[in-house]
Amino acid sequence: MRDLVYIFLGGGFGSVLRFMISSNTQKLWKINDFPMGTFVVNITGCFLIGILSAYFLKVDNSLKYLLITGLCGGYTTFSTFSAENFSLWQNGNYPILILYVFLSLIVGLLMVFLGFQLVKD
């Protein structure tokens, strides 16, 4: 139960942090229509989950739920996606890696399009 509380707290903090960093970054760097705020959040989230994953391989405790699952999960799910792909790459599972990346991108875009079309009409 304690781990669920850690995930809950970390997720809430990560979501607020994502909003603050993304919106402030977007205001500071206006590069045409490029979503710089989301880009910065996703890239920093990937860096953070890399650091935390390496650390918690050596030290296994409940803080990983607060910081990896909660904070990084609330901050950006792209960090989890990237960490999963890195694991597939490390394990030499290249066909699944390529399939996962391709399907996530294509099916994700398709689902956004379908959801938009469903409500739009």
**Mean pLDDT of all residues in 106-113:** 86
Residue 32 within a domain: yes
Q: Are 49 and 86 in contact (CB under 8 A)?
A: no
**Residues 35/42, Cβ–Cβ less than 8 Å:** no
Residue 118 lies in a domain: no
Q: Which ranges of 1-121 would DSSP assign to H, the alpha helix?
A: 2-28, 36-58, 63-64, 73-75, 77-90, 94-120
24 domain-assigned: yes
Answer yes or no: are the C-beta atoms of 59 and 32 closer than 8 Å. Answer: no
Reported pTM: 0.75
36-56: per-residue pLDDT in tens? 888 899 899 999 998 998 898
> Residue ranges for the binding site?
73, 76
Residues spanned by the domain of 37:
2-76
Total tally of structural domains belonging to the chain: 1
Pick from 29-33, 62-66, 94-98: least confident: 29-33
pLDDT in tens, 1-10: 999 999 999 9
Give the residue numbers of the binding site for Na(+): 73, 76
